[in-house]
Amino acid sequence: MRVMAQMAMVMNLDKCIGCHTCSVTCKQAWTNRTGTEYVWFNNVETRPGLGYPRTYEDQEEWQGGWVRKPNGRLALRAGGRWKKLLTIFSNPKLPSIEDYYEPWTYDYETLTNSPQTDTFPVARPKSLISGKDMNVEWSANWDDDLGGSHEHAARDVMLKGIEDKVKLEFEQTFMFYLPRICEHCLNPSCAASCPSGAIYKRSEDGIVLVDQDRCRGWRMCVSGCPYKKVYFNHKTGKAEKCTFCYPRVEVGIPTVCSETCVGRLRYIGLMLYDADRVLEAASTEDEHGLYEAQRNVFLDPRDPEVERAALAAGIEPDWLEAAKRSPVLRLITDYQVALPLHPEYRTMPMVWYIPPLSPVVDVVQETGHDAEDRGNLFAAIDALRIPVEYLANLFTAGDVEPVDGVLKKLAAMRSYMRDINLGRDPDESIPAAVGMTGEQMYEMFRLLAIAKYAERYVIPSAHAEQAHALEELATDCAVDFDAAGSYYDQALLGEGAGYPTPVAVENFRMLQDRQTSDTLAAPDDKATRVNLLNWDGKGAPEGLFPPQRDRGGA
Amino acid sequence: MNVLLWVIVPYLCLAVFVVGHAWRYRYDKFGWTTRSSQLYEDRLLRLGSPLFHFGMLGVIGGHVIGLLVPRSWTAAVGIDDHLYHYAAVGGGLVAGVMTLVGMTILIYRRRTVGPVFSATTPMDKVMYAFLGAAIVLGMWNTIAGSVFSLGGEYNYREGVSVWYRSFLALQPDADLMAQAPIGFKLHALVAFGLFALWPFTRLVHVFSAPLGYLTRPYIVYRSRDDRPLGNAAPRRGWDQVGR
């Protein structure tokens, strides 16, 4: 057993309202630069739909991920090492900018410079690639909310095998949103495709990163990733991908997409896994067995034997504690309501999803039946094969059974909690029908519905104590000046000396203050709160300004 | 004059080549890339780029054999001048034509495809001029000198190659080059100019040919860098990359 820790995420799709806040904040934080205009580390797709880039799930076409060869060994679908080197001068499977979209801006200047005319001046779209006028014909979420789906949706790769049924019942079409980031796979095919060895998996937290100093721009990772989540920065000539916001995660705060998620549908936590069994699990013969196989690779940190092995493998005790409290562990292992996205790519993805029950609920509601009744919902899950089969194509390589099980658990939770909320006696037969206890079901409800920040994100900070000690040997201070931030203390040599306070640390402290206070106004006792109405402007009342150390009052 | 052209200039260019690469690798690893433009245009690149690159590999291989293997060695293994001549001219023509056609397609693409043209730096243009001139002059030497024997017979294996080996052995014999036909002289000078430019162009990607890919494990694991948590330490302009 070789225990490794992996930072993982679970998204509860039932709560996604498709607002794209995650995409926008991520873009503002990371890809708001020339060369990355078309790059969306996080994007939200409407399903059924084509996704981004268009039909990226069609691996017959794009050749991403791994395949199991007849002899049982795994091979890159796009070909092995020699084939990669022989095709290095022109990557045969690289999506072109048209498969993403041609990024554009608008010629806003004409609006302000226009002379007075009878007609309104128009800001024309200008390509950010060629600088010329262009027609906007596609974008990262062109088919948002099923827009234009009567034309495009039929090309959704995941509809394969169920097209006829969908056409039949298109009037009562179903739809949900699928936010996607890099999967930070246990068996990343992008890393395996990189000729330079620039893409690596961090041994501490499993985050998959591109070393920008080692990337030589061969572009094999872009075609190797079946999720098409490695992008080519066309200005620097280097690959870039979602970093799981490692600068934030290292100091214990969640990724930007999670932090800003309006529906609070993302959960971040650690998963422990046995690195020795990853390859074996990824080589499982039956595609339907891959979900189960990946779950079996995970280790339960509450198991004393695993605990011993983890400590022996150098996982710090506080990380082990965090792994025990991981919300992701509960959703994947305990309640088994989270499923991986496209296990059939055999990359062992680590961003999992709770499939949405809402398409089913909507249909039941429209028929006028009670959409919170267990019987109605169970019957609908069985009867409405389209959503279930579609979801199975996404999350279990087409195996309907696990999706069915998850949806029934979610349906049971609705019915069970209704009784409790209405003050009736909880019906213990409901959780029993899906193999759970009432207590478990209540805990699951808490986690899915009302969990607070600290429960949704259990992120231990990285261990840099030793690195710091080695680096700062000569300048380290024996006396702690300021318990909160001795490392960044600038008192000795004056302001600007040493390292600047990292923005992430500053953010972290501010956010922590704001988020751990359960009231709107802090400080929340009236005695220390500043009343601006009767403040005469003299002196600095406590709490009005942030504390300043050296200046002595404001 | 001969000493300047065939001793001083070549060594200067070689020094710039070596020191330039060391400097670039230490201070600009981030800029060390192929700067691929495949994202912008695929159709012409799919044809031109493999033609050019595989042709170029042949050209480089031909130069290694022609310049570094003495005539006496090939004679010793029973390859007479006649046979060698046919092999060299035949191989050289195939590789040269591939390179030339590939390069023509690539330059045409670079000029006519808008996004690719606007991503072209002035350094790229200078480099293309030198590279193109070197290739054209090289082709001229092969065709005019070896096929049609314009300007008299010249066996470069007795002249240019010997000079090149003496140059590498640090005992340069400038006279050997002074006697070579003008085509060979120009080809050599342009090539040395290209070597001097090399470290400052995208040609550095030649030295990152990823041969290690054949032997390394598929998945690379690496530990978190030793740096302050949360962000990278601000890098000063004179700091070495990847301490």
Angle between helices B81-112 and B43-68 (to 10 degrees): 150
Question: Is B221 close to A464, i.e. CB distance below 8 A?
Answer: no
HEC profile of B165-199: HHHHCCCCCHHHHHCCCHHHHHHHHHHHHHHHHHH
Question: Is B114 close to A234, i.e. CB distance below 8 A?
Answer: no
Q: What is the span of the domain harbouring residue A318?
A: 1-104+145-355
Amino acid at A281: A
What confidence score (pLDDT) does residue B175 get?
86
Give B202→chain A minimum CA distance, Å: 11
Largest Cα span, chain B? 71
Question: Is A464 close to B229, i.e. CB distance below 8 A?
Answer: yes
Give B220→chain A minimum CA distance, Å: 5
Report d(CA A304, CA A301) in Å as an integer: 7
- Domain-located, residue A223: yes
A283 strand-pairing partners: none
A126 and B CB contact within 8 Å = no
- Domain-located, residue A136: no
pTM: 0.84
Angle between helices A438-445 and A400-421 (to 10 degrees): 90
What confidence score (pLDDT) does residue A527 get?
56
pLDDT tens by residue, chain A, 554 residues: 899 999 999 999 999 999 999 999 999 999 988 889 999 999 999 988 899 999 999 999 999 999 999 999 999 999 999 999 999 999 999 999 999 999 999 988 888 888 988 998 999 999 998 888 999 999 999 989 888 877 777 788 888 777 766 654 555 677 899 999 999 999 999 999 999 999 999 999 999 999 988 999 999 999 999 999 999 999 889 999 999 999 899 989 999 999 999 999 999 999 999 999 999 999 999 999 999 999 999 999 999 999 999 999 999 999 999 999 999 999 999 999 999 999 999 999 999 999 999 888 888 888 888 888 888 888 888 887 778 889 999 999 999 999 999 999 999 999 999 999 999 999 999 999 999 999 999 999 999 999 999 999 999 988 766 554 444 333 434 333 343 333 343 334 443 434 444 555 656 666 676 666 655 545 555 555 566 666 666 777 666 676 666 654 44
> Which residues of chain A does B214 touch, with a Cβ-Cβ cutoff of 8 Å?
81-82, 85
> Which residues of chain A does B34 touch, with a Cβ-Cβ cutoff of 8 Å?
216-218, 237
Mutation for testing the A interface, residue in B43, B225, B229, B239 having most A CBs under 10 Å: B229
- Domain-located, residue A305: yes
Q: Cβ of A401: how many Cβ atoms within 10 Å? A: 12
Model ipTM value? 0.87
The ranges assigned to domains in chain B are: 2-213
Mutation for testing the A interface, residue in B45, B218, B223, B241 having most A CBs under 10 Å: B218
A470 and B CB contact within 8 Å = yes
What confidence score (pLDDT) does residue A479 get?
36
Of A192, A219, A471, the CB nearest to B38: A219
What's the number of domains chain A is made of?
Answer: 1
What confidence score (pLDDT) does residue A463 get?
77
What confidence score (pLDDT) does residue A514 get?
62
Report d(CA A386, CA A468) in Å as an integer: 55
Spatial contact of A335 and A344, defined as CB atoms under 8 Å apart:
no
Chain B residue at shortest CA distance from A278: B219
Question: Is A201 close to B222, i.e. CB distance below 8 A?
Answer: yes
Question: Is B210 close to A196, i.e. CB distance below 8 A?
Answer: yes
Give A533→chain B minimum CA distance, Å: 40
* pLDDT for B237 beyond 80: no
> Which residues of chain B does A84 touch, with a Cβ-Cβ cutoff of 8 Å?
213
A35 and B CB contact within 8 Å = no
What confidence score (pLDDT) does residue A146 get?
85
Query: DSSP alpha helices (H): ranges in A106-172?
Result: 109-113, 149-152, 163-168
| Strand bridging mode A230-233 / A238-241 | antiparallel
Largest Cα span, chain A? 83
- Domain-located, residue A534: no
| Strand bridging mode B221-222 / A199-202 | parallel
Give B222→chain A minimum CA distance, Å: 5
Chain A residue at shortest CA distance from B119: A235
Map tokens 């790519």 to a residue.
Answer: A345
Q: How many beta-carbon pairs under 8 angstroms link A with B?
A: 156
Question: Is B118 close to A232, i.e. CB distance below 8 A?
Answer: no
A81 and B CB contact within 8 Å = yes
What confidence score (pLDDT) does residue A469 get?
40
A191 and B CB contact within 8 Å = yes
A120 and B CB contact within 8 Å = no
What confidence score (pLDDT) does residue A38 get?
95
Listed in sequence order, the residues at least 6 apart from B229 whose beta carbon sits closer than 8 Å to its beta carbon are: A250, A251, A461, A462, A464, A502, A504, A505
> Which residues of chain A does B207 touch, with a Cβ-Cβ cutoff of 8 Å?
none
A206 and B CB contact within 8 Å = no
Of B34, B227, B234, the CB nearest to A500: B234
Of B37, B41, B221, the CB nearest to A200: B221
Question: Is A502 close to B222, i.e. CB distance below 8 A?
Answer: no
Question: Is A90 close to B40, i.e. CB distance below 8 A?
Answer: no
Enter the tokens of residue B170: 């640090």
Interface of A with B in 472-511 (CB under 8 A): 487, 499-500, 502-505, 508
Give B201→chain A minimum CA distance, Å: 14
Enter the tokens of residue A331: 């959703």
The rounded radius of gyration (Å) of the Cα atoms in chain B is 21
Report d(CA A129, CA B165) in Å as an integer: 48
Angle between helices B122-140 and B81-112 (to 10 degrees): 150
Q: End-to-end CA distance of chain B, in Å?
A: 45
DSSP result, A255-324: -HHHHT-TT--EEEEEEEEEGGGHHHHHT-SSGGGHHHHHHHHEE-TTSHHHHHHHHHTT--HHHHHHHH
List, as own/partner pairs, every contact residues A462-466 make where C-beta atoms lie below 8 angstroms and the sequence separation is at least 24, other chains included. Answer: A462/A204, A462/A205, A462/A249, A462/A250, A462/A251, A462/B224, A462/B229, A463/A204, A463/A316, A464/A250, A464/B224, A464/B226, A464/B227, A464/B228, A464/B229
| Helix or strand holding residue A246 (H, E) | helix A246-249
Of B119, B205, B221, the CB nearest to A201: B221
Report d(CA A158, CA A394) in Å as an integer: 7
What confidence score (pLDDT) does residue A473 get?
38
Query: DSSP assignment, residue A251?
Result: T
CATH fold, domain B2-213, is: Fumarate Reductase Cytochrome B subunit (1.20.950)
Mutation for testing the B interface, residue in A76, A216, A319 having most B CBs under 10 Å: A216
Report d(CA B182, CA A107) in Å as an integer: 55
Of B34, B211, B231, the CB nearest to A218: B34
The answer to whether the Cα torsion of B233, B236, B242, B243 is positive or negative is negative
> Which residues of chain B does A131 touch, with a Cβ-Cβ cutoff of 8 Å?
114, 118
Spatial contact of B229 and A462, defined as CB atoms under 8 Å apart:
yes
What confidence score (pLDDT) does residue A533 get?
63
Chain A residue at shortest CA distance from B227: A467
Spatial contact of A259 and A456, defined as CB atoms under 8 Å apart:
no
| CATH code, domain carrying A177 | 3.30.70.20
Question: Is A234 close to B37, i.e. CB distance below 8 A?
Answer: yes
- Domain-located, residue A431: no
What confidence score (pLDDT) does residue A554 get?
42
Spatial contact of A504 and B231, defined as CB atoms under 8 Å apart:
yes
Report d(CA A228, CA A52) in Å as an integer: 8
A67 strand-pairing partners: A75
Report d(CA A485, CA A349) in Å as an integer: 37
